[in-house]
Amino acid sequence: MMLKQKVSAAKGLMIVLIFVVGCSGNPLEDTSNFSRGIEAKEAPMWAKQVAEGKLPPLAERLPENPLVAKTNFDGYERPGPYGGTWHRFHTHPDLGTWKMTAGYAPLIRWKFDASGLEPGLAKTWEFNDDGSVLTLHLRKGVKWSDGHPYTSASFAFYYDLCLDERYKYSPPVWCKVNGIPMEVETPDDYTIVMKFAGPNWLVPLWLATGFWWCNQYNIPKHYMMQFHPDENPKYKDFIQFEKENIPHQNPERPTLWPWRVRKYEKGGFRVELERNPYYYVVDELGRQLPYIDRVKTSLVPEPQVRVLKILAGEIDCQYRGMELRDLALYLKGQEKGNYKVRRWKSTAGAQPAILINWTDPDPVLRKLIRDQRFRKALAYGIDRVKCNEIAWRGLLEPQAATVSQEGWHFADEDGQTLFEEWKRADADFDIAAGNRLLDEMGLTARDEDGYRLRPDGEQIEILMDVPSSNLNSQENDIGLIIQEGWEQLGLKTLLYTPPGAELSLRRTLGKFTISMHGEAEMDLFTYPDWVFPTLPKYWHPKVGKWYETGGEKGEPATGPLKKLLDLYDEIKKEPDEKQRHQYVRDAVRIHIDEGPFHLGSAARSPSLLVVANHFHNVPNDGILGPWAIVTPATSYPEQCWISKE
């Protein structure tokens, strides 16, 4: 029935369309709402409402000690006028790229240069002596976007939900020490006390990491209670609660973001946001942020359509979502599209890393792989310069697989020296040295095709998983270059391109011999798995499983992997930050001396962003890399402004 109606409606529309030509022009952006300059203390968008008494005056909407946006970066010009609309796109309906930009309202923030933490919703925080009690002091007078006070009750509410068995999410990993979840106390509206079963020094980092944690623990209790089964007998479970609690989908749900969602078109195809009248961050002059009134963002999953949108000048400012292969096109279109392309760092340590499965399902191969000489030979067989030149047009750097050089573990001179050594470890293309090592291992017997034989007389056959995605066509090129190199070592190499889900399944279940994965991490304390085998991922799937499940599943760690895990356990217990960094460096030393466990190709690509010429206060340089450090949100994009042309 419904379909028929739609069909007839569609036909009707067609008929109407045929008769409607040329009714009205195409009005461009409304610019009447711009403030003249920086004299305005209040955005014109609200000034009228305040005058009419519909909104309390600015002083009542701001907290006692508002957070002052940091401006200590190259590219910051000056405080801007209020007004305008920020046009951009998102690549996926979950709005991840937007949340990375302006969905970051954590208790504690990462600094923009990723050198440590700074206050967010919490003014200060402190541990007791043994690191088992963390006390956070909130800013007084912070309000949700509907004007309701933000207090410690919000965090307590979130944690109660975690403990509620009817709620699907259990307490997250950082809440637990030895498997025992923390206790949360809120002695007053502005104090949160977390009590752990033992030292848990990394919690502030977890609170600051990613947009996802803060969006989970900041729940507007006063609004969400209406969907709570205890409060509303209409609901038997939390299904409706969870739907209403998605901050980017529900315009009714109060938020702490600089821009609140005003309109969410089903499926996230278009989302409109407007300034949050109660936003708790101000500029140096004490003027409430954001400067820009509205944000319009639409879903553009097709990369080529994104390119056209940018070339057409339809985008005001876009972080992420541009591919390096289109750089020349973007540069060419700068003048016509009235924008500039900036190149930030991606800080990737390997694009991609070549993962060698420590727990290869084939026992003979596994034995070979655990021989350091074999892994070194594989490393010598990769022509990284060629990888860079062919797959990346020479825009990257050939090197061994590392994490991010800008990570805070390597901030001082010693750290950088160590890092340089890591980058160069076994990173030369040297077929002769590789062959020598394999001969030394006794793998001298060859078959009639010249391939080396395993100790059991079979041909050595290395199956390399290569992602099939058209997003990462570089990985296919790199796969071929590596294959060529390894064949010169007398190792039969086959490329295998499983469909996306199968590729990641093979990785997490440890069903591969060689696989690929992009690699970047700034903070190994919270996301340690590149260096420490803590999770069923990357080059250590089964050992990671063993560590993750407390020894129930997977395979126990031995040798260097055991050493690495012991180091990570020390990190969790260590009160001194400097010493924690030292443990990371010790782990890197193990990677250099007893590795490689995963091999590099090319690394450190530029990350493109597009900034229209009328768009201001965007940092010239920064890091658009891993998710855990929430860039560009840490540069306070709410202080970007648009000049009226």
Q: Which token pair is 15?
A: 């008929």
Q: Which token pair is 56?
A: 């309390």
What's the CA gap between 36 and 56, in Å, rounded?
23
Binding mask 373-402 for other proteins (x = CB under 8 A): ------------------------------
User: According to CB under 8 A, which one of 149, 172, 229, 251 is a site residue for other proteins?
Assistant: 172
Footprint of other proteins on 488-527 (CB under 8 A): 498-505, 517-521, 527
- Choose the stretch contacting other proteins; rule: CB under 8 A; options: 139-147, 259-267, 553-561, 610-618: 259-267
- Choose the stretch contacting other proteins; rule: CB under 8 A; options: 7-15, 278-286, 452-460, 591-599: 7-15
Footprint of other proteins on 314-333 (CB under 8 A): 314, 320
Min CB(608)–other proteins separation in Å: 14
Binding mask 16-45 for other proteins (x = CB under 8 A): xx--xxxxxxxxxx----------------
Binding mask 568-597 for other proteins (x = CB under 8 A): ------------------------------
User: Which CB sits closer to other proteins, 287 or 604?
Assistant: 604
Among candidates 270, 358, 418, which has minimal Cα distance to 564? 358
User: Which CB sits closer to other proteins, 285 or 305?
Assistant: 305
Total of chain residues touching other proteins, rule CB under 8 A:
84
Among candidates 167, 107, 160, which has minimal Cα distance to 138? 107
What's the CA gap between 555 and 546, in Å, rounded?
5
Footprint of other proteins on 440-459 (CB under 8 A): none
Footprint of other proteins on 527-556 (CB under 8 A): 527
User: According to CB under 8 A, which one of 126, 130, 188, 265 is a site residue for other proteins?
Assistant: 265
Q: Which token pair is 410?
A: 């390597």
Binding mask 200-219 for other proteins (x = CB under 8 A): ----------xxx-------
604 binds other proteins (CB under 8 A): no
What's the CA gap between 159 and 157, in Å, rounded?
5
DSSP string, 212-262: HHHHHH---HHHHGGG-TTT-TT-SSSHHHHHHT-TTT-TTS---SSEEEE
User: Which CB sits closer to other proteins, 309 or 342?
Assistant: 309
DSSP code of residue 623:
B
User: Which CB sits closer to other proteins, 13 or 364?
Assistant: 13
Instruction: Give the helix ranges, DSSP H, for 498-615.
Output: 500-509, 541-548, 559-573, 577-594
User: Which CB sits closer to other proteins, 56 or 93?
Assistant: 93
User: According to CB under 8 A, which one of 169, 432, 446, 593 is a site residue for other proteins?
Assistant: 169
Among candidates 583, 579, 587, which has minimal Cα distance to 561? 587
Range 177-180 contact pairs with CB under 8 angstroms and sequence separation of 24 or more: 177/132, 179/550
User: According to CB under 8 A, which one of 77, 189, 269, 446 is a site residue for other proteins?
Assistant: 269
Min CB(518)–other proteins separation in Å: 4
Min CB(357)–other proteins separation in Å: 17
**Contacts of residue 608, Cβ cutoff 8 Å, sequence gap at least 6:** 322, 323, 324, 327, 330, 341, 342, 343, 344
Length of the chain: 645
- CA distances (Å), 84 to each of 35, 641, 645, in order? 9, 8, 11
User: Which CB sits closer to other proteins, 311 or 391?
Assistant: 311
- Choose the stretch contacting other proteins; rule: CB under 8 A; options: 50-58, 162-170, 437-445, 541-549: 162-170
**Contacts of residue 66, Cβ cutoff 8 Å, sequence gap at least 6:** 139, 280, 281, 282, 286, 288
User: According to CB under 8 A, which one of 434, 625, 632, 637 is a site residue for other proteins?
Assistant: 625
User: Which CB sits closer to other proteins, 218 or 346?
Assistant: 346
- Choose the stretch contacting other proteins; rule: CB under 8 A; options: 87-95, 143-151, 277-285, 419-427: 87-95
User: According to CB under 8 A, which one of 128, 170, 416, 417 is a site residue for other proteins?
Assistant: 170
CB-neighbour burial class of residue 643 (10 A; exposed 0-12, middle 13-18, buried 19+):
middle
User: Which CB sits closer to other proteins, 168 or 562?
Assistant: 168
- Choose the stretch contacting other proteins; rule: CB under 8 A; options: 36-44, 47-55, 112-120, 266-274: 266-274
Phi, psi of 462, rounded to the nearest 5 degrees: -105, 120
Min CB(503)–other proteins separation in Å: 6
User: Which CB sits closer to other proteins, 406 or 430?
Assistant: 406
What's the CA gap between 296 and 274, in Å, rounded?
9
User: According to CB under 8 A, which one of 282, 378, 460, 628 is a site residue for other proteins?
Assistant: 628
Footprint of other proteins on 460-489 (CB under 8 A): 467, 469, 471-472
Q: Rounded to 5 degrees, what angle do the CA atoms 59, 61, 67 make?
A: 85
Contact 154, 221 (CB under 8 A): yes
Binding mask 350-369 for other proteins (x = CB under 8 A): -x------------------
164 binds other proteins (CB under 8 A): no
What's the CA gap between 560 and 21, in Å, rounded?
73
Min CB(267)–other proteins separation in Å: 5
Min CB(534)–other proteins separation in Å: 12
**Contacts of residue 188, Cβ cutoff 8 Å, sequence gap at least 6:** 152
User: According to CB under 8 A, which one of 92, 166, 393, 553 is a site residue for other proteins?
Assistant: 92
User: Which CB sits closer to other proteins, 28 or 59?
Assistant: 28
User: Which CB sits closer to other proteins, 29 or 447?
Assistant: 29
User: According to CB under 8 A, which one of 51, 163, 180, 308 is a site residue for other proteins?
Assistant: 308
Buried b (16+ CB within 10 A) or exposed e, 627-640: bbbbbbbbbbbbbb
Q: Taking the chain, what is the end-to-end CA distance rounded to the nearest angstrom?
A: 51
Among candidates 492, 573, 589, which has minimal Cα distance to 525? 573
Contact 293, 71 (CB under 8 A): no
Among candidates 235, 141, 233, 148, which has minimal Cα distance to 190? 141
What's the CA gap between 289 and 53, in Å, rounded?
21
